[in-house]
Amino acid sequence: MRIPIELEEGIENEIKNIKLTELKEKANKLSDRYLNAKRNGQSLILDKLDVLAYSIMRMPATFCAINKALKETLRIYSTKISTVLDVGAGTGAGEWAILNNLDVDKIICIERDNYMKLLGERLLINERNILWKDQDIVNTEIHDNADLVITSYMINELKEEAKDRVINNILNSFNKISIFIEPGTPEGFKNIRKIQKIAIEKNLNILAPCTSQVECKLPIDDWCHSVVRVERNKVHKFLKNADVPYEDEKFSYIAISREKIDNKGSRILRHPSISTGYINVKLCINGDIQEKTITKKDKELFKKVKKLKCGDLII
């Protein structure tokens, strides 16, 4: 999947007078900073070049992950969404995904980092229905409400003691749907488990990727994630020292609604292992974890699963 051409052109316009070698040096330092960060809620963006390097390296993958999670959720629960609240909007990747899937009246973006907020505003300058707010939700309450409340790659940046309060704050702010997206890692999925537990305690309804209303039964050292293939342009490849024209973004997410929805089904937990004549696949079936073998005798199912990957839903 590729980012919208308007977004790609906007980023290219932002960097047209900057040496790519200078951006690459910034990108390497920023990557090291994120890799070694203690995740205590501090901002890792130090200047304008940092945020430009970030936009090239992370906006494509963030857009694609949000876009896939949103499409999957709306496929299960298609409802009229008029207003959106993006908590920790960053440089606005979520807004591009929202505009790619929905026709909304208003989007409110909450972002505390000024460099990110300013770039997001510039990249979305032609969208008049987007309001940006400078707010740190770790230290303040969210007073806005919206039909859809979304947050991506944000909970994992918080101190552990702040997570429950922020999650509860977000879950009190949505009218119809809330979507949390985290890195597709054991640590990222640990946050998704926490969100799921809090949502169930609040008598909210899990839409996706879970196909039941019970807490996850995966072993504590296992995790559930989805994958989306992201196309790289030349600048992206240069900054990441990459040879291949794509990268696979792994992400974990959970979508929650106030309305009860029948979302029973089977979710693929690991890439299917395809052999001659059969496929072994690990599934979450209505909340139960099961290993299944699908043979060529199951013609339609065999053909379908052969094309699927982890995180996909078998209907």
**pLDDT tens digits for 208-257?**
999 999 999 999 999 999 999 999 999 999 998 899 999 999 999 999 99
Q: What is the pLDDT of residue 78?
A: 87
Q: Residue 313 in contact with residue 281, Cβ under 8 Å?
A: no
Q: What is the pLDDT of residue 263?
A: 83
Q: What is the pLDDT of residue 41?
A: 64
Token output for 58: 């992370």
Single out the residue in 218, 233, 257 at which a domain terminates. 257
Single out the residue in 229, 257, 285 at which a domain terminates. 257
HEC profile of 111-136: CCCHHHHHHHHHHCCCCCCEEEECCC
Q: Which domain holds residue 294?
A: 266-314
Q: What is the CATH number of the domain that holds 47?
A: 3.40.50.150
168 & 292 share domain = no
Average pLDDT over residues 259-271: 90
277 & 251 share domain = no
232 & 92 share domain = yes
Tell me the C-alpha distance between 65 and 93, whole Å. 10
Task: Identify the band that residue 46 occupies on the pLDDT scale cut at 50, 70 and 90.
Answer: confident
Average pLDDT over residues 41-55: 87
Q: How many domains does the chain have?
A: 2
147 & 295 share domain = no
Would the pLDDT of 202 be above 70?
Answer: yes
Average pLDDT over residues 130-159: 95
Give the chain's length.
315
Q: What is the pLDDT of residue 43?
A: 76
90 & 191 share domain = yes
pLDDT > 70: percent of the chain? 98
238 & 285 share domain = no
Query: Which of 42-51, 187-196, 279-288 is predicted least confidently?
Result: 42-51
277 & 169 share domain = no
Would the pLDDT of 40 be above 70?
Answer: no
Tell me the CB-side half-sphere exposure of residue 210, using CA atoms within 13 A.
28
Task: Identify the band that residue 268 occupies on the pLDDT scale cut at 50, 70 and 90.
Answer: very high
Task: Identify the band that residue 261 occupies on the pLDDT scale cut at 50, 70 and 90.
Answer: confident
141 & 285 share domain = no
Q: What is the pLDDT of residue 39?
A: 67
83 & 232 share domain = yes
In terms of Cβ atoms closer than 10 Å to its own Cβ (0-12, 13-18, 19+), residue 221 is exposed
The pLDDT tens digits of the residues spanning 84-135 come to 999 999 999 999 999 999 999 999 999 999 999 999 999 999 999 999 999 9
- Residue 250 phi/psi, 5° resolution? -95, 130
273 & 239 share domain = no
Tell me the C-alpha distance between 189 and 254, whole Å. 10
Would the pLDDT of 203 be above 80?
Answer: yes
Would the pLDDT of 200 be above 90?
Answer: yes
Tell me the C-alpha distance between 162 and 159, whole Å. 5
Task: Identify the band that residue 299 occupies on the pLDDT scale cut at 50, 70 and 90.
Answer: confident
17 & 107 share domain = yes
Average pLDDT, the chain: 93
140 & 289 share domain = no
